[in-house]
């Protein structure tokens, strides 16, 4: 049995007196997808930030590729792709320049060719030389997804990847997630509601007030049954 | 090395596209020199002393602006997080930001030296050439200090105000050494006669380049 890509034990996070995550246990293998579903302030983004190594947990442990996320060496960061609320893109660079720049940071063999390939995949090839500051929120979101997936990471952490997207944009992101899982990447994404992604199985976890419920069937999560019982309501 | 080159190239590309930093640095340098040339009576003080002082005041202002600008681009869209999540070593990121700040500062310094020579009726001769290593040492030290501090102050409210409050007092030893060495160079003294001043500047450079390289990871990261 392969080692888990992501593993957390009793993970907790506090900001001052606010308890944002508590006792989170999560385990994910290569080629598996998981959606963490919850409302605003439920702890979704904090969980992803800890897994990405951007924040240290206040309690418990988080491991990615068997490494403690508090000290993720460059060779492990190389294998993680993160898409967050902020796009991490430079508004005064063009779409191609942005992807090319990140391609160089991730030591891709042909950053420019990779950038062009991804621009085609996300349907932005015709605006490759336009500056990102001229993009709509949805276009920026697609480019941000391409930036996260550019180096074909073994772990993808996607924070609300479908937010601000129209139907076509959501289809593109869904196909990218499907493609990542099919090539063996582990994917953890967050959303407010269970998304529809055809052709791929993923576990659905509900999160509320920092508590993560056991994975449940999509229908049950849509009714909010599992998290209600966990919260004692 | 590829990460260093990529970040530096990106910063220079952004600067060439907007020109904001370089124009602001040159305008600021010119303003400082113009104010000082009219404020100080050249008949009562040696013009080389005034010129050296004016040049370093312009340089300090330019350095603060340059370092601030080099990190400002990373605050848009949370781009700094994208860099921290990448395999790029934070020390390398510091080195690239320092190099960008140095280039902006060097451009401003060239402009400031030309203006200084014109405003203070100096000659374009050997003494100006002797200024080059002194200004280079000053620029390296101040850029390193300002880059390190702007990574801290950029995360705070009113950080732009905080940077000079923190940077200038720390820079004072190197500033005094730089002004004294520059005045001596403009007066025609050879570099060998300014050994003590240059040693202070070299020590300052080594201290803050090393500190920046080692500490950048801790000051630029998340809260």
User: pLDDT at residue A206 above 80?
Assistant: yes
For residue A96, pLDDT over 70 is answered with yes
Cα separation values, A65 from A32, B86, B216, Å: 14, 16, 26
3-class secondary structure, B73: coil
For residue A196, the domain's CATH number is 3.40.50.300
CA distance B26 to B15: 14
DSSP symbols for chain A = -PPPSEEEEEEEEEETTEEEEEEEEEEE-TT-EEEEE--TTSSHHHHHHHHHTSS--SEEEEEETTEEGGG--HHHHTTEEEE-SS----TTSBHHHHHHHHHHHTT-S-HHHHHHHHHHHTT-GGGTTSBGGGS-HHHHHHHHHHHHHTT--SEEEESSTTTT--HHHHHHHHHHHHHHHHTT-EEEEEESS----TT---EEEEEETTEEPPP--HHHHHHTHHHHHHHT-
* Residues in chain B closer than 8 A to A49 (CB atoms): 222
Residue B138, pLDDT > 90, answer yes
B20 CB near a chain A CB, below 8 Å? Answer: no
pLDDT band at B67 (very low <50, low <70, confident <90, very high): confident
For range B69-98, the mean pLDDT: 87
Is the minimum CB–CB distance between A101 and chain B shorter than 8 Å? Answer: yes
Least confident of A29-43, B38-52, B77-91: B38-52
* pLDDT reported for residue B141: 93
Least confident of A24-33, A164-173, B37-46: B37-46
The better pLDDT of the pair B128, A83 is held by: A83
**A87 in Cβ contact with A152 (< 8 Å):** no
Instruction: Choose the weakest-confidence range: B62-66, B79-83, B185-189.
Output: B62-66
The structure's pTM equals 0.86
pLDDT of residue B45: 67
- Give me the number of domains chain A comprises: 1
Q: Output the pLDDT for position A183.
A: 92
Summarize the confidence of residues A81-102 as an average pLDDT.
94
The whole-number average pLDDT for the span A84-97 is 94
Q: What is the pLDDT of residue B106?
A: 87
The answer to whether residue A188 is domain-embedded is yes
Torsion of CA A160, A165, A171, A173, to 10 degrees: -40
How close A155 gets to chain B, by Cα (Å)? 13
Nearest to B79 among A55, A74, A89 (CB): A89
B interface mutation test: which of A51, A53, A87, A90 has the most B CBs within 10 A? Answer: A90
- Report chain A residues whose CB lies below 8 A from the CB of B76: 90-91
* Average of per-residue pLDDT across A4-10: 92
pLDDT: which is higher, A215 or A142? A142
**Lowest-confidence segment of A4-8, A28-32, A107-111, B119-123 by average pLDDT:** B119-123
How close does chain A come to B107, measured CA to CA in Å? 22
Is A127 domain-assigned? yes
Q: Tell me the per-residue pLDDT of A35-82, one tens digit each, with 9 for 90 and over.
A: 999 888 889 999 999 999 989 999 999 999 999 999 888 889 999 999
Domain ranges of chain B: 2-220
Question: Is residue A76 domain-resident?
Answer: yes
pLDDT over threshold 60, residue B117: yes
Q: What is the pLDDT of residue B62?
A: 79
CB contact burial A69-87 (16+ within 10 A = b; e otherwise): beebeeebbbbbbbbbebb
Q: How many residues does chain B have?
A: 223
Percent of chain A with pLDDT over 90: 68
Among B2, B18, B77, the residue with its CB nearest the CB of A89 is B77
Q: Hey, which of A126-130, A191-195, B150-154 has the most confident mean pLDDT?
A: A126-130
Q: What is the pLDDT of residue A222?
A: 67
Segment (H or E) for B151: helix B126-153
- Summarised one tens digit per residue, pLDDT across range B185-203 is 988 888 888 889 999 999 9
Q: What ipTM goes with this model? A: 0.85
Is the residue at A153 inside a domain?
yes
What's the pLDDT at B218?
Answer: 85
Whole-number Å distance between alpha carbons of B95 and B148: 10
A218 versus A150: which is more confidently predicted? Answer: A150
Q: Mean pLDDT over residues A81-109, rounded?
A: 94
Tokens representing residue B174 in the block: 């190197």
Q: Residue B163 has what pLDDT?
A: 82
Q: How many whole angstroms separate alpha carbon B209 and alpha carbon B203?
A: 10
A90 at B interface, C-beta within 8 A: yes
Tell me whether residue A50 is in a domain.
yes
Q: Is the pLDDT of residue B118 over 90?
A: no
pLDDT of residue B168: 87
Residue A1 falls within a domain, yes or no? no
Residue A39: inside a domain: yes
pLDDT at A232: 58
Q: Is the pLDDT of residue A101 over 90?
A: yes
Parent domain of A131: 6-231
């Amino acid at each position: 049995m392969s080692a888990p890509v992501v593993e957390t034990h009793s993970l907790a996070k506090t900001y001052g007196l606010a308890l944002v995550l508590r006792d989170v246990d999560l385990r994910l293998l290569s080629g598996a997808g998981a959606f963490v579903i919850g409302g605003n302030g439920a702890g979704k983004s904090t969980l992803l930030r800890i897994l990405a190594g951007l924040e240290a947990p206040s309690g418990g442990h988080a491991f990615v590729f068997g490494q403690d996320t508090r000290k993720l060496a460059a060779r492990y960061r190389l294998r993680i792709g993160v898409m967050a609320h902020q796009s991490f893109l430079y508004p005064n660079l063009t779409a191609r320049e942005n992807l090319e720049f990140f391609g160089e940071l991730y030591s891709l063999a042909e950053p420019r060719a990779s950038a062009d390939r991804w621009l085609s995949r996300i349907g932005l090839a015709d605006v490759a030389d336009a500056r990102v500051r001229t993009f709509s929120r949805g276009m920026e979101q697609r480019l941000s997804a391409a930036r996260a997936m550019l180096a074909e990471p073994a772990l993808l952490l996607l924070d609300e990847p479908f937010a601000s997207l129209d139907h076509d944009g959501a289809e593109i992101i869904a196909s990218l997630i499907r493609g990542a899982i099919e090539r063996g990447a582990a994917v953890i994404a967050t959303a407010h509601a269970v998304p529809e992604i055809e052709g791929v199985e993923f576990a659905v976890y509900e999160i509320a007030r920092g508590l993560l419920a056991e994975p449940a069937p999509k229908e049950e999560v849509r009714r909010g049954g599992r998290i209600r019982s966990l919260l004692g309501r | 090395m590829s990460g260093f080159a990529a970040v530096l190239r990106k910063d220079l590309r952004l600067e060439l596209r907007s020109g904001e930093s370089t124009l602001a640095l040159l305008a600021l340098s010119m303003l400082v020199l113009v104010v000082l040339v009219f404020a100080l009576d050249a008949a009562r003080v040696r013009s080389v002393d005034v010129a050296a002082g004016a040049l370093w005041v312009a340089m300090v202002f330019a350095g603060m602006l340059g370092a601030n600008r080099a990190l400002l681009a990373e605050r848009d869209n949370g781009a700094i997080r994208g860099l921290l999540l990448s395999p790029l070593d934070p020390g390398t990121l510091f080195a690239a930001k320092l190099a960008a700040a140095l280039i902006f500062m060097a451009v401003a310094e060239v402009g400031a030296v030309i203006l200084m020579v014109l405003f203070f009726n100096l000659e374009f001769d050997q003494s100006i050439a002797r200024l080059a290593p002194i200004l280079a040492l000053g620029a390296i030290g101040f850029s390193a200090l300002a880059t390190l501090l702007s990574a801290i102050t950029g995360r705070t409210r009113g950080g732009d105000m905080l940077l000079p409050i923190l940077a200038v007092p720390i820079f004072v030893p190197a500033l005094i050494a730089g002004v004294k060495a520059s005045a001596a160079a403009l007066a025609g003294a050879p570099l060998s006669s300014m050994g003590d001043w240059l040693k202070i500047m070299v020590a300052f450079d080594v201290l803050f380049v090393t500190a920046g390289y080692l500490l950048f990871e801790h000051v630029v990261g998340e809260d």
